[in-house]
Amino acid sequence: MSKRPKAMEREDNETEYPHFVADEVLYRRVPLVLWLSKNDDIELDAIELPDMSVGRSRFGHPEWVRFDVVNGNHFEDWGVIGFEVRAIHPRLWVNGTDEFTFRPAHDPLDLDYPHTEVRVYLNGMQVNLADAIPHHIQLKWRELLFREIRRVLRPYQEVPIRQQRPKSHHPESIPSG
């Protein structure tokens, strides 16, 4: 198993950085069971509801999200998808009265500073989407996000694991493996 880059870790006194720009990219690992073949694309079944864990391009590279720091795993063969912040459908109205808003929130972990969550808020208060919105309406939100998602790393794609944080939020080209 490859070693997790030290640069993923939160540095002393490093707090969250709450600002996101529209073209910052959010990355998420996708298990092999959801890729039917090496070159296949994923489907809606791979798209999570908020709260959805992702890694942000301002502080991390796509191959870094193959590390599961919570359980100490490295899913080195898994694919990675990405979407820009602007692709998050920002608002859903339910029953004409409840306004649900969606946005990313930087949620750094000690071993994973880029960790971010896409969260949902009801009238400004954070809520659990699964409990708050009927399933068929959740599906609509997921489909709108799915349309904007792109494959960043194919399953089994070997890439060198970069050891330094990105220089900006603009994704850098993937080094050849």
Partner 1 sequence: MPGTLIPAADIMAAMSRATTYEGLKAELTALVGDPWSAKLDSFADLAAGWDGYKAEPPSSVVIATARRFLASDELSPTRLAPSVAVGVGITFKRNGRKAYLELTNAGAISLLLSDGVNDPHTEPVKVEDPTLTTKIREFLGE
Q: Mention every residue, 6+ apart, whose C-beta is less than 8 A from residue 63.
A: 80, 153, 159, 161, 162, 174
DSSP state of 82: E
Considering only 3-11, 41-49, 103-111, 159-167, which stretch makes contact with partner 1 by CB under 8 A? 41-49
Considering only 92-100, 132-140, 148-156, 160-168, which stretch makes contact with partner 1 by CB under 8 A? 132-140
Could you give phi then psi for residue 21, rounded to 5 degrees?
A: -105, 160
CB of 24 to partner 1, least distance (A): 21
Residue 145 has which token pair? Answer: 């996000």
> Which is nearer to partner 1, 86 or 170 (by Cβ)?
86
Decide: residue 110, CB within 10 A, 0-12 exposed, 13-18 middle, 19+ buried: exposed
CB of 54 to partner 1, least distance (A): 10
Q: Mention every residue, 6+ apart, whose C-beta is less than 8 A from residue 141.
A: 49, 89, 92, 102, 133
Q: Residues 132, 122: contact at Cβ < 8 Å?
A: yes
> Which is nearer to partner 1, 59 or 78 (by Cβ)?
78
> Which is nearer to partner 1, 74 or 173 (by Cβ)?
74
CB of 9 to partner 1, least distance (A): 19
Contact with partner 1 (CB under 8 A): which of 8, 26, 46, 145? 46
Number of residues this chain uses to bind partner 1 (CB under 8 A): 31
CB of 40 to partner 1, least distance (A): 9
> Which is nearer to partner 1, 43 or 158 (by Cβ)?
43
Closest CA to 65 of 57, 56, 78, 55: 55
* Helix spans in the chain (H): 129-132, 135-146
* Residues 87-126, interacting with partner 1 (CB under 8 A): none
Q: Residues 77, 65: contact at Cβ < 8 Å?
A: no
Residues that bind partner 1 (CB under 8 A): 29-31, 33-34, 36, 43-49, 53, 68, 71, 73, 75, 78, 130, 134-140, 142-144, 147
